Structure 1
Amino acid sequence: MAHLNKYISLLRNVVKCNGRFLSTRPPPIVKASFLSNPVFVGLSLGVGGTLGYAYYSAINTEPVYNEMGNTQPILKSFPEGITVSRKVRIPEDTTGLKITLFQYPTCPFCCKVRAFLDYYGVSYDIVEVNAVLRQQIRWSSYKKVPILLVQTPNGYQQMNDSSMIVSCLASYLSETNVGVEEVASYFPETEYRDDDGVIKKEIMNRYFLMLNDRMNGRSVKDIMDERKWRKWADQTLVHTLSPNVYRTKEEAFQAFEWFSEVGEWDKHFSSWERWLMVNVGAYAMYFISKRLKKRHNLKDEVRQSLYDECNLWVKTIEARNNGPYFGGQRPNLADLAVYGVLSSIEGCEAFKDLLGKSRIRSWYEKMKTNVTNHLGNEYVKHYANQKAVVG
């Protein structure tokens, strides 16, 4: 019976890990009582209008009341019994941040956070989460990955949701006199009812940068375009991944063998658990991918849908005519989001086909050079020096 329960838990988490990002239904518009903070400045254009007070479900018309204190939690101490799997140390790091990332190594959202940290040269610890038992995140009421903990004078600031994590850290690194806890407080959770009347939580402003009056030479349009394509990475591009990675049974098994290698499942799981994850996981995701293909209206030849989206990305960069990246002469958060999502399938057959049959290779290889060599660190040093002067 214990093995059966683990099997059921495994299957549930395999689907969550590989498919939780595959829902394109937008959250209903709600309204929260937390938007009294002036930090939004020009970047929050439209937030007040987009967060309406109540969403009335056909099943339950009761509005969801949102407290002002629905902010990211702060832990008094580091979770007990948690062992760091590995440490990523970057000698050039001047941020002073002490970060722990709870992750699945091949989750697109976790890859997105790592791409941000690696590009900007921010050191961090990694806790690999067991996808079967998930005991590494039992301490958290939020049960998805990535979860980020940042040590602060008051404890450990918890951050949930990959886009919120990136927005919060990017905002912190570009400000001179605001602490991590304060920046994190600008990303409250909003509760709403979905189409089935179930109360859910959403960080509605997770793509917003809290730059106060510091635009750093960027126009509002540039920042809004960046936000638009960060959303595109999460809401469109990721939906082409699973149907391609698990297109055939052979590809599904190859993908799970790669997941096992990258995630070092032989170290974190017993032999029977690893066997179950690879064989049952691959078999299940092969069939689930067929449903996902239909749900997201992908072409019968799903590879073409992946190629089309990546070609659209390259075409959009070219149309901007200001450099090899969406950000111009250097990557911005949209570049890092797209790169992070695509890097999650780098060891799969679908990725090999993508490089050979779309126009993404040149951009992707440039991005990989930027990320692996921490070329964004020079900009972090600039802001770190400013923080030191202000402090």
Structure 2
Amino acid sequence: MEDWAHGGFGLYIHWPFCQAKCPYCDFNSHVVAQIDQKAWQSAYLSEIDRIGAETQGRVLRSVFFGGGTPSLMDPDVVDAVITRIRATWPTANNIEITLEANPTSVEAGRFAGYRDAGVNRVSMGIQALNDPDLKVLGRLHTAGEAMQAFEIARGVFDRVSFDLIYARQGQSVAAWEAELQQALSLAVDHLSLYQLTIEDGTAFGDRYAAGKLRGLPDDDNAADMYAVTQDICAAAGFNGYEVSNHAAAGCESIHNRIYWRYGDYAGIGPGAHGRLTLGGQRHATEAQLSPVGWLAQVRRTGNGDLVRTALTQDDQVSEFLLMGMRLAEGVDLGRYPALLTGEFNNKINGLIELGMVLRDENQLSVTAEGRPVLNAVLRALLDD
């Protein structure tokens, strides 16, 4: 079988619009006064047809509506997109169809519409469980509104995940521990817990560069928060199956594991990335960032991709390790002969001696001690 089949095949659909731009966010999201929903529906359907013609016969395991804030999409648009998807590919019996939502754009009728369209999993961007921190993070909802939205989602969908950010300004380890315990008391089956990172080009990035972003935890405190996160989640039965993601057994995100297991995925929408194996060659695809430009390009050419690049074996090996080593299960080195050479074995053995990785025949994974310094582990593996 082709290598991508080890991870499976998924579809990502990017909705680029938000009600406001969060100061920490470096995603391709935009605030606009009006959205022509039917124009976006038409473009998405056109792209599904194009990619479907190239990938006929593949079993689709997941669909992910990301953004932006996809819960701003009309349910009728989501319904039309899912209907076209099901007419284009055979789908797995347990296909996972996820839609990201913000608490400010949640109401029961809209969620029921998404469910009726075929969405079976929701991922909510809650980010914090107290009002002062939500305000600092630029969120438009209160903690109370987040809880109301979560209750609506839990009443409509069997599978609901939500995101929290930790290592926030002024946050202590004890405060994060208490907040995490509260989150676990609410959680259904999955939590995404991200350490705040300051990205260039964001409002937080600009403030940090100017020395005006104060109160961030130091490296030791941030490391303690990461350790607390792993311990508390594991004790609650939400094991860390990936660096930032925790789930009850059997409830891991199918879509995200396609990325991390280095499967194939098609990306549709402004700025969307994809990895597609066509004719035995894996390609990287990328769409232009501008929503207006992307929409016009699809209308004009029938193709939303800006670039499609054939990946060399070295490219693929690097991506395979960068993605797969994030998983607790690690990677199967047998998928790439370059990872079974004497030179690479020497790198692995050095990391084993340091207690950073484990090897069981061809399965390589990062230890609990290695995960907080995963970037350093990856540099050691990938350094020529």
TM-score when normalising by structure 2: 0.28
More strand by percentage: 2
Q: Of Structure 1 and Structure 2, which has the larger fraction of its residues in helix?
A: 1
TM-score, with length taken from structure 1: 0.28
Bigger relative contact order, structure 1 or 2 (CA pairs below 8 A, ≥6 apart):
1
